[in-house]
């Protein structure tokens, strides 16, 4: 019976006396007062800081040392009145008593599949897997690869393609395991899923959507769609794209048609889409059916999983697992219940089991190139731990420290000195990209062709700018982070982060637009003095600092002043034009309203 006794505070002796209660209350009040004083002092310090004039950045500043702890500072830390426990109750939790004892820190235990990955080499210089020797791939695909100039497979392809194909061999009896792949930017992840999917779907004769590929943006969806198109040439496999670039009705026509005999029939086998557009079709396209899905591929998986766009995962799951025929033990019913094999890809794949849990992966298999070896010498075999993300080996990383007011000038001086072309410059906002373009254009005059590209730009002009940048007709493309992920622009020489990246993932993806497919590339980040420590902590490694000296900037001050003047004029002009167009639209609307009212009368 003792086991079921709840020991309540107060049940057995030590009763809290009125004095103890008041003492406790006094401590709490003192603590609140102390916090208040701390906040006031902090605010005063910040105000003082703001009021003191800025020092020359070159001048060394001495950081004031923290004053040693005075008894005054400690005066509020009073010992709490402890409730005495009778010796026989020590092992019991007394409700209401202070639980001051610290809990021991729990070790992070990864699930088996995360702790035992297959390690992929990130070396793209010494390739060993010849396409002609990869017997798991069928002849048609091997020939297609050769025709596209691919002689050797990259490490991620050499590991993942045979594994996925093998996992499909007994797919009718055993569910194939799901796959997660984390490999650096530009290491060839796209072909690692395109080839096994195409080869597997070749065996099916009835047309149904059997592979669904989800991507975070329109441009990426189009890129992957083109890859599938290339490798399905000469087969009966049809690929579709729904990303919002086309009108909704046009997309619907591309997906299904109605047949008197069979009802709704799918027109495609593989569907490449963005999450938002997928949900629209799940809700509104008659006959859109994903119940024969064999593959669910999520590229840039961490980004797609972060996106809560229309709650895509909920709608997709609901659609896949809805059983129209409710007769249990019917073969059709059982078959419909089968989950598709999920393939997740990213250069920054989340290793947070909680996030991945959302996808209910089935016995997942992890392929990763970001590993750290446990250098504990006492252990016989070094343990391999999945580490943070890796950058391509061919990438050179540097940073420049400059003050805010001369940042565009420093960028100009650096670009001029290094004679850089085919360079991407990342800014944090559309306005910032626009202003930087105007400034650089008036600084460089006609020596460099500079364009800006942002999500504000509509599809066609965006494609045009991207294509002329790829051809080398545009030297400098100023952009926002919408271009940071996944886009494959061949031959980018340099990536400049004009605005410092806030997150490591942002940095990795921006920098990953260069040094792709084994080519070399340079990533430069412009930082203000106070951003340097945080940036170094973010990268967790030392990178080289490049100097742009004062003497380089001095001769440019007049030019810079003129460029700033031109920028002001241009911005004012744009604002005027914008206002005028808003006013004229308002006028037109008023006129229309009057007309409608009159016609009703």
Task: Report the interface residues with ligand ATP, using CB under 6 A.
Answer: 150, 152-154, 157, 185-191, 347, 486, 488, 490, 512, 516-517
Min CB(389)–ligand ATP separation in Å: 10
Following DSSP, what letter does each residue of 12-57 receive, concatenated?
SS-PPPHHHHHHHHHHHHHHHHHHHHHHHHHHHHHHHHHHSPPPPT
Q: Outline where 368-483 has alpha helix (H).
A: 407-418, 430-444, 459-471
Nearer to ligand ATP, 251 or 299 (CB): 299
Min CB(513)–ligand ATP separation in Å: 7
Nearer to ligand ATP, 408 or 486 (CB): 486
Whose tokens are 């290491």? That residue is 187
Q: How far are the Cα atoms of 390, 470, 537 from residue 540, in angstroms, in the given order?
A: 11, 32, 5
Min CB(486)–ligand ATP separation in Å: 4
**Do residues 130 and 151 touch, judged by C-beta distance below 8 A?**
yes
The residues, ordered by sequence, that sit 6+ positions from 147 with a Cβ below 8 Å of its Cβ are: none
Nearer to ligand ATP, 240 or 512 (CB): 512
Angle, helix 407-418 to helix 557-600, in steps of 10 degrees: 120
511: number of Cβ within 10 Å: 26
**Do residues 523 and 495 touch, judged by C-beta distance below 8 A?**
yes
Min CB(518)–ligand ATP separation in Å: 7
Sign of CA dihedral 149, 153, 156, 161: positive
**Do residues 520 and 504 touch, judged by C-beta distance below 8 A?**
no
Nearer to ligand ATP, 435 or 516 (CB): 516
The residues, ordered by sequence, that sit 6+ positions from 286 with a Cβ below 8 Å of its Cβ are: 256, 258, 264
The residues, ordered by sequence, that sit 6+ positions from 90 with a Cβ below 8 Å of its Cβ are: none
How much of the chain is helix, strand and coil, in % rounded to 5?
45, 15, 40
Per DSSP bridges, beta strands 129-130 and 152-153 are antiparallel
Nearer to ligand ATP, 389 or 412 (CB): 389
Min CB(479)–ligand ATP separation in Å: 15
Nearer to ligand ATP, 439 or 496 (CB): 496
Nearer to ligand ATP, 226 or 536 (CB): 226
Min CB(299)–ligand ATP separation in Å: 7
What CA–CA distance (Å, rounded) separates 586 from 581? 9
What CA–CA distance (Å, rounded) separates 230 from 392? 26
Nearer to ligand ATP, 180 or 440 (CB): 180
Min CB(363)–ligand ATP separation in Å: 25
Nearer to ligand ATP, 151 or 590 (CB): 151
For 65, the token pair is 């040392």
Min CB(204)–ligand ATP separation in Å: 25
For 309, the token pair is 């766009």
Min CB(396)–ligand ATP separation in Å: 17
Please choose, from the candidates 310, 306, 240, 307, the residue with its C-alpha nearest in 3D space to the C-alpha of residue 282.
310
Min CB(344)–ligand ATP separation in Å: 13
Following DSSP, what letter does each residue of 162-229 receive, concatenated?
HHHHHHTTTTTTSPPPPEEEE--TTS-HHHHHHHHHHHHHTT--S----EEEEESSHHHHHHHHHHHH
Min CB(450)–ligand ATP separation in Å: 24
Nearer to ligand ATP, 191 or 526 (CB): 191
Nearer to ligand ATP, 114 or 191 (CB): 191
What CA–CA distance (Å, rounded) separates 154 from 511? 20
Min CB(208)–ligand ATP separation in Å: 27
Please choose, from the candidates 451, 439, 428, the residue with its C-alpha nearest in 3D space to the C-alpha of residue 556.
439
Nearer to ligand ATP, 152 or 163 (CB): 152
Min CB(300)–ligand ATP separation in Å: 7
Nearer to ligand ATP, 152 or 535 (CB): 152
Total length of the chain = 601
């Amino acid at each position: 019976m003792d086991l079921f006794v709840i020991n309540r505070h107060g049940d057995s002796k030590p009763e809290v006396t009125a004095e103890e209660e008041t003492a406790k209350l006094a401590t709490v009040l003192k603590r609140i007062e102390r916090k208040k004083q701390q906040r006031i002092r902090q605010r005063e310090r910040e105000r003082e800081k703001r009021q003191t004039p800025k020092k020359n950045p070159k001048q060394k500043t001495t950081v004031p040392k923290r004053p040693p702890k005075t008894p005054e500072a400690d005066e509020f830390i009073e010992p709490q009145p402890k409730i005495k426990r009778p010796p026989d109750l020590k092992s019991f939790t007394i409700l209401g008593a202070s639980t001051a004892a610290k809990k021991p820190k729990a070790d992070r235990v990864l699930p088996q599949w995360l702790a035992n990955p297959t390690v992929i080499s990130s070396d793209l210089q010494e390739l060993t897997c010849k396409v002609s020797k990869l017997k798991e791939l069928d002849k048609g695909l091997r020939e297609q690869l050769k025709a596209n100039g691919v002689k050797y497979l990259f490490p991620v392809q050499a590991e993942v393609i045979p594994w996925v194909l093998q996992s499909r061999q007994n797919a009718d009896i055993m569910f194939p395991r799901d796959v997660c792949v984390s490999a650096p930017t530009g290491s060839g992840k796209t072909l690692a899923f395109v080839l096994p999917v195409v080869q597997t779907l070749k065996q099916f004769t009835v047309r149904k959507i059997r592979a669904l590929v989800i991507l975070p943006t329109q441009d990426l969806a189009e890129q992957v769609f083109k890859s599938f198109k290339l490798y399905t040439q000469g087969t009966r496999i049809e690929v579709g794209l729904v990303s919002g670039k086309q009108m909704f009705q046009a997309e619907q026509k591309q997906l299904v048609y109605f047949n008197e005999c069979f009802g709704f029939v799918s027109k495609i086998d593989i569907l490449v889409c963005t999450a938002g557009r997928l949900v629209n079709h799940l809700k509104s396209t008659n006959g859109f059916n994903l119940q024969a899905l064999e593959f669910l591929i999520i590229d840039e998986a961490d980004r797609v999983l972060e996106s809560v766009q229309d709650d895509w995962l909920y709608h997709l799951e609901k659609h896949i697992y809805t059983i129209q025929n409710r007769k249990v033990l019917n073969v059709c019913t059982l078959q419909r219940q089968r989950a598709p094999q999920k393939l997740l890809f990213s250069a920054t794949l989340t290793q947070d089991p909680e996030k991945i849990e959302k996808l209910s992966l089935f016995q997942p298999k992890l392929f990763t190139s970001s590993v750290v070896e446990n250098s504990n010498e006492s252990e016989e075999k070094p343990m391999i731990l999945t580490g943070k993300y890796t950058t391509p080996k061919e990438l050179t990383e540097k940073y420049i420290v400059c003050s805010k007011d001369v940042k565009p000038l420093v960028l100009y001086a650096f670009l001029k000195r290094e004679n850089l072309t085919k360079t991407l410059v990342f800014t944090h906002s559309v306005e910032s990209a626009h202003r930087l373009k105007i400034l650089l254009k008036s600084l460089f005059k006609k020596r460099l062709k500079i364009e800006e590209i942002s999500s504000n730009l509509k599809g066609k002009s965006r494609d045009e700018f991207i294509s002329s940048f790829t051809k080398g007709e545009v030297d400098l493309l100023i952009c926002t982070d919408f271009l940071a992920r996944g886009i494959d622009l061949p031959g980018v020489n340099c990536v400049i982060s004009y605005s410092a990246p806030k997150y490591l993932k942002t940095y990795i993806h921006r920098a990953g637009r260069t040094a792709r497919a084994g080519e070399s590339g340079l990533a430069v980040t412009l930082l203000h003095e106070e951003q340097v420590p945080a940036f170094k902590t973010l990268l967790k490694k030392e990178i080289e600092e490049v100097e742009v000296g004062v003497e380089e900037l001095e001769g440019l001050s007049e030019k810079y002043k003129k460029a700033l003047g031109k920028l002001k004029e241009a911005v004012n002009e744009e604002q005027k034009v914008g206002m005028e167009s808003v006013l004229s639209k308002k006028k037109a609307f008023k006129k229309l309203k009057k007309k409608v009212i009159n016609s009703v009368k």
